[in-house]
Chain A
């Protein structure tokens, strides 16, 4: 995080993400609002790490938070909203990979592993290096049930597959609950009809620490980095006030979404509104003409340079303006309209000129 000192010695920081600011607002300014609360944001955020030196330390996020409810329906809604957001952007083949922030933690509670070894196990899972993972578990005398469960979980790709992971015994009770929770989310996804776009990834860990439940990442095959992600954070909001509010949310990185669209060959649609530049020796008439054009929904600029006709037309051409309109002493008289793309000029009444736009404006 970027941190620096204020003039009076207070520590200031640039926001690295938006969930913390949202949590603060929910606990301080929205205390009377009825839950669940649904919020969205579009904002710039700042990251300090080396990784962001290459990518730009400021980037934009668009995200949502659903605060005050912890049902699987909430998790399902957030995933469905993520999928439909990506579709609305025009992205094809988007998928979500889901993991669980507490699953591995609670599985390892039964072992005597210290923090360092837990870290090694986590990175071996993230590496997807099965050979070394197995070796590590053997060296550290993992009970065979746990060993099996971890290997099976790292092979599961679909949410429903986790139901076959053998975690019946009571010592893994909490982990078992997490898997059941994921299966419930899967049922919700069925009802949204997006169950085939959401996958399970045991190795998935989000770098943010406040997640407690389901975590996820969105991606498309054309871009090597995830477009965004999110998860459930049930213990985070209480840190900002007295309210204990469960929540789930996601954030999409806008620049990455644009890169993904470009990679998929998406073309930005050309603007449809025609632009006009209005000029007159009679300022009063010009201002009136601009108003008439704008009221009709046409983009109109007023010439303020008092230059000659030639200069004005030249400027209009370079500025991508379609029509230069030269107005006489009043709107009762015809104006000279130059179509800068065709080079054709004609004398028409402003009303008639407007009609010629038809549906174009």
Chain B
């Protein structure tokens, strides 16, 4: 008998509710209290795992779960080698470089080689600045990188922005965009081989359920 297919979805944040709705559209309803990390679903073949958005790509890459929902930006940041089966459309955001409004840094050209960059995305930031030939110092922070310029920890930050509101509130301006991202349904490459029929059917139900 085949084991259950595990699907990881964000345990909190702006991606959580839309992700649960995605499962519902494919006819997979979460049955248990969401506080449980592992939940049964209305489809006995699937179980849902609640995980941190940043960790979902790692879970899928290693096959700890078979399917996962999270942002494209995070899949790239965690360098996960996975199938990105479907662009789910929601969770639109951009990974941007931002500086304080009053700062003299107005474009990426103004960024000095000695600049410190605070970010939750050290990999993508390093690659971006390396691509520009700028050897900046990358500081990895967890959450609220907006605070870093205020405290003098860093001159600029790299962070995701969907509406620009948070940046504005913290008196930060966007000086460059690194990439555009949306939420993706991803799949472990070996799981795709093992469960291709079930996963194709899941995808078909998702599309029928009105996903654009």
Contacts and interface: CB of A to CB of B under 8 A. Distances in A.
Q: Do A and B come from the same complex?
A: yes
Interface of A: 49-51, 54, 95, 97, 126-129, 131-132, 157, 199, 201, 203, 219-221, 223-226
Nearest to A207: B81
6 contacts: A51-B79, A126-B83, A127-B84, A223-B190, A224-B190, A226-B189
Contacts of B86: 129, 131
Interface residues of B, number: 21
Interface stretch (B37-45, B58-66, B157-165): B58-66
B174 interface: no
A143 to B, nearest CB: 25
Nearest to A221: B194
Interface string B71-83: 0000000010001
Nearest to A224: B63
Interface string B169-212: 00000000000000000011111111010000000000000000
A157 B87 CA distance: 23
B135 interface: no
Nearest to B64: A224
Interface string B86-125: 1100000000000000000000000000000000000100
A127 B83 contact: yes
Contacts of A54: 58
B62 A225 contact: yes
B190 A225 contact: yes
In the A-B complex, list the 7 residue pairs whose CB atoms are closest, starting with the nearest. A224-B63, A127-B84, A221-B194, A128-B83, A219-B190, A224-B188, A224-B62
B192 A128 contact: yes
B31 interface: no
Contacts of A128: 83-85, 187, 192
A153 to B, nearest CB: 16
Given A221-B194, A223-B63, A131 B83 contact: no
Given A50-B123, A127-B84, 14 more contacts: A50-B79, A126-B83, A127-B83, A128-B187, A129-B83, A129-B84, A129-B87, A132-B87, A157-B196, A199-B193, A221-B194, A224-B188, A226-B189, A226-B190
Contacts of B190: 219-221, 223-226
B202 to A, nearest CB: 13
With most chain A CB atoms within 10 A of its CB, the pick from B79, B187, B190 is B190
Contacts of B62: 224-225
A223 B194 CA distance: 11
Nearest to B195: A221
B171 to A, nearest CB: 33
With most chain B CB atoms within 10 A of its CB, the pick from A49, A54, A157 is A54
Contacts of B189: 224, 226
A100 B67 CA distance: 26
A201 B190 CA distance: 12
Contacts of A219: 190, 193
A219 B85 CA distance: 20
B83 A224 contact: no
Nearest to B60: A224
Nearest to A226: B190
A333 to B, nearest CB: 62
A347 B56 CA distance: 65
B83 to A, nearest CB: 4
Nearest to B80: A51
B63 to A, nearest CB: 1
Interface string B138-166: 00000000000000000000000000000
Contacts of A203: 83
Contacts of A127: 83-85
A132 B187 CA distance: 16
B193 A95 contact: yes
Contacts of B61: 224-225
Nearest to A135: B87
Contacts of B79: 49-51
B3 to A, nearest CB: 8
B130 to A, nearest CB: 13
Nearest to B122: A50
A50 B122 CA distance: 11
Contacts of B188: 224
Nearest to B2: A221
Contacts of A97: 193
Nearest to A50: B79
Contacts of B64: 224
A292 B68 CA distance: 63
Contacts of A224: 61-64, 188-191
A131 B64 CA distance: 27
A261 to B, nearest CB: 15
B51 to A, nearest CB: 15
With most chain A CB atoms within 10 A of its CB, the pick from B61, B62, B189, B191 is B189
B125 to A, nearest CB: 13
